[in-house]
A and B are shown apart, each in its own frame.
Chain A
Amino acid sequence: METFRYDNRVVRNFAWATLIWGLVGMSAGLLAAVQLFFPDANLDFQYITFGRLRPLHTNAVIFAFIGNGMFMGIYYSLPRLCKAPMFSRLLSQINFWGWNAIIVAAAVTLPLGFTTSKEYAELEWPIDIAITLVWVAFTINLFGTIIKRREKHLYVAIWFYIATALTVALLHIVNSMEVPAGWFKSYSLYAGVQDALVQWWYGHNAVAFFLTTPYLGLMYYFLPKAAGRPVFSYRLSIIHFWALIFIYIWAGPHHLLYTALPDWAQSLGMVFSVMLIAPSWGGMLNGLLTLRGAWDKVRQEPMLKFMVVAVTAYGMATLEGPTLAIKSVNSLSHYTDWTIAHVHTGALGWNGFLTFSMLYWLIPKLYRTSLYSVKLANYHFWIALTGMMFYVVPMYWGGITQGLMWKQFTPDGFLQYPNFLETVLQIIPLYRIRAIGGSLYLLGAFIGAFNLCRTAHAGSFEPESEAQAPARVKHSGVDGKGHRWLEARGLLLAGLALVAVAIGGLVEIIPTFLIKENVPTISSVKPYTPLELLGRDLYIREGCVGCHSQMIRPLRSETERYGEYSKAGEFVYDHPFLWGSKRTGPDLHRIGGKYPDAWHYNHMENPRSTSPGSIMPRYPWLLTQKLETNCLPARIKALRTVGVPYPENFELTAGKDLVKQAKGIVQNLESGMVKAQPDTEIIALIAYLQRLGTDIKLSKPVTASVDGVPSTVVVNP
C-alpha cells in the first residue's frame, strides 16, 4: 500500500472562480437582455453596447463559468479515479492562474472592441496564443496523471476528459489561424465560405467538446457518487463515448444550412446531426437510470435535484438540436430566437445545473462540513428552474412567431410583413419576459453563492486529502482483451479518439479548400477599398454581426425581402466572414445602395429617428471619433498575406484613395442636409455599408480606381 495526498487547493480555487465568473457572466447576459427591449440601458457607453456585451457574456459563461467548473470537476475527479495526485502542482497552478488571466484579458479586450468576430473565438491573437499554452499545460497535467496512475483501469469519465483535451486543442488551433495586423488586430487565414465552415466546425464542436464531453465525464463521476451506486450500464457508456465523439465532429455544417456552403457539406451536417440523437439519449438515459431505486435521495439531496434537471435538460437540448438541424425546420428557426432558447436550455439547464450540483457537493467536502442550508439550496433550485422556464419558453414563442412572420405572404404573393421592424415589435413583450426569467436564474445563483460562502465560512478547508492504494502492477499486455487492453493504454486510446474526431473535420474541410468548383468565383467581385476596409473593421469592432446577418438564403421569403441570394463567390475577400447567425435586425448583405448615405448617418446617430420603435443601440461616438488610419498599411499587408490581391505597394497610396473616397461621401451627406467631418469613423462605416452586396450588380468593375482597386459604388441619395 502506498499513501499519497490529493491537492484540494486547485479544486477550491477553480470552485470559487466558477462561482464568481458565473455571477459576472450571467449579469452581463441580463444587461444584454434588457438592452434588447430598452436600448438606452447601455447609457450610450460604447463599451457595454449590445454588440460588445454579447461576446463578453458568451465568453464569460462558456469559458469562465463553465470552463472553471469543468477544471474544478476534472481536478477533483481525475486524481481520485487514477488513485494518484495530479502530475504536477506547478502545471495545476499555471492552469488555474493562466486560465483566469485569460478571462480577465477577455473581459478587458472585448468591451474595447478587440475582436475577431468569430463566435466563441472572438479573442485576439495574443490571447489565442495564451489559451494554447495554458491548454497545453492542462493536457500535459492530464496525461501525466494518467501515466502515473495506480489504478489499472481508466474509468469512462477519463476518456471524456481525454477527448476534451485533444479535440479542443485541435479546434482552437485550426480556427485561430490568423495573420496579425498589430497587437490587437488580425485577419482570419480563411475567407468567406471556408472561414464559415472552419468557424462552425469549431463553434459546433466547442459546444460538443467544451460544453458536453467534459460535463458528461463529470456526470459519469459525480452522479454515481451522489447516488451511491454505480452507473446504470458501463457497456452503454462505452458505446456512448465512441459514438458521440465520432458523430459530433461531422455535425458543424448544420449551422450553415441554405447558405452558400456547398450542398453536400450541408447534407452531411444534417445527416450526422440527426444521428446524434442516438448516443446523446443513450448517455442521458444512462445517467437517469443510474438513479433507479435511489429516487428517494433526489427528494432529499438538493445536489441530486440539480443533477436530474441537468441530465434532463441535456436530453431536451440534444433532441432539439438534431430537430433544428433538419433543413426544413432550420429554414424557419435559423436567425431567430429559437436558437437562443436552444442554447440556453443547454447552458442554463445542462451546464448551469450540473455546475451548481458539483459545487453543492464539493464545497462541503472541501471544507469538511455540511451544507449551510438545505432549504436555501432548494430555494435556489426552484427559483433557477422557474427562471429557466421563463427564459426558454418566451424565446421559443418569439422565435417561432418571428420566423413565421418573416415567411408570411399575402394571397397576392407579397410579403405580409415587409417591414422587418414590425416582426421585432411583435416579440418585444417576450424579450421582457425573458429578462425576468434571466433575473430569476441570476437571483438563484446569488442565493447559491451566499449558501456556499456560509458553508465554507463554517467549515475548515482541507488543503490536501490523504488516500491509499496499492502500487500499480505494470501490464504485461497479455492479460486483457479488447477494450480493456485498449483502455489500459491511455495514449493509444487518446490517439484513436483523435483519429475518430479528426476524420469528420477533414472530410468536410479539405474538399472545400481543394476543390475549386466548391467556391465559384465571380469576376466583378473585388477587394474592399481602404476606406471600406476600415469601415468593415469598425463593423467588426462594434459587433454588428451579433444582430445582423450577411447571408441571404435562397428562399423566396428572403429574396423578396432582401434581394438576390448570397453567392459563395461574393465572399472570397471576406477575412473573416461576417455571415452572422442571428437576425435581431435585418440582413445587411444587399444593404449597399438601398438607402442614401445621409440615412445611414442619421440612423447610426439615433436609429429611432429613421425607424421608430427600433431596438438598435445609438452609435453617437462613431460621429465624433476620428478614424484611425495609421494602421492601414499593416492591415493591407496582412490581408495581402492571407491572399487578398492588393497590388504591390498599394499601401503607399491607400491613404490618398481613402481621403478621396471619404470626400465623396461627405459631399453625398451634404446633399442630404448632413454636415460631417471626412475623418470620422462614421464615414468609413457608411462606405462599407454602401459597398455591401453591390459587386455582383456590376457588369464590369467601376472605372474610378486607384492602382487597379476600384473605389466604392457611390450611391446618390
Chain B
Amino acid sequence: MFQNILHDLGGAALYGIVSICLFFLVFTVAMVWAMTRRSTVLREIEQLPLAEDLSSFSIPTSVHHERIS
C-alpha cells in the first residue's frame, strides 16, 4: 500500500525517501537531546525571560494589572 502511495507521488522513490530519512534523523537527535537534559538545568533556563531590569520596572503595564495585584 505504502509503495503505491509513494509511487503515485512521482519521483518520490529516491528524493522523497532520502529526505524523510534525513528528517527522522534530525527529529530523533533533537528528541534525544531534549529528553536527556537535566530538569534542574531546564528550570534554570526557563526562568530567563522572567528576569526584570533593575530600574523602573516595578510599574505595572496596565491599570487593571495594578488592581488585581
Contact = CB atoms under 8 A, between A and B. Distances in A.
Contacts of A462: 55-56
A77 B50 CA distance: 11
Contacts of A465: 53-57
Contacts of B45: 153, 155-156, 234
Nearest to A81: B48
B4 interface: no
A300 B61 contact: no
Given A230-B47, A300-B65, A368 B56 contact: yes
B42 A242 contact: no
A236 B35 CA distance: 9
B7 to A, nearest CB: 11
Nearest to A83: B51
Nearest to A369: B59
B26 A300 contact: no
A220 B53 CA distance: 18
Tier of interface size on chain A: 35 or more
Contact of B33 (A270, A303, A482): A482
A267 B30 CA distance: 25
B53 A467 contact: yes
B53 A466 contact: yes
Contacts of B60: 370
A301 B37 CA distance: 34
B19 A371 contact: no
Nearest to A151: B48
A703 B66 CA distance: 83
Contact of B49 (A6, A81, A236, A272): A81
Tier of interface size on chain B: 35 or more
A300 B53 contact: no
B48 A267 contact: no
A238 B50 contact: no
A436 interface: no
B44 A267 contact: no
B9 A271 contact: yes
Contact of A246 (B9, B26, B59): B26
Interface stretch (A409-417, A499-507, A558-566): A499-507
A250 B37 CA distance: 29
A482 B34 CA distance: 9
A155 B48 contact: yes
A81 B49 CA distance: 6
B53 A264 contact: no
A270 B53 CA distance: 46
Interface string B11-48: 11011101110110011011111111100011111111
A374 B43 CA distance: 33
B63 interface: yes
Residue of A6, A228, A264, A270 with highest tally of chain B CB at under 10 A: A264
9 contacts: A80-B53, A157-B49, A236-B34, A246-B23, A246-B26, A250-B19, A272-B19, A370-B66, A374-B64
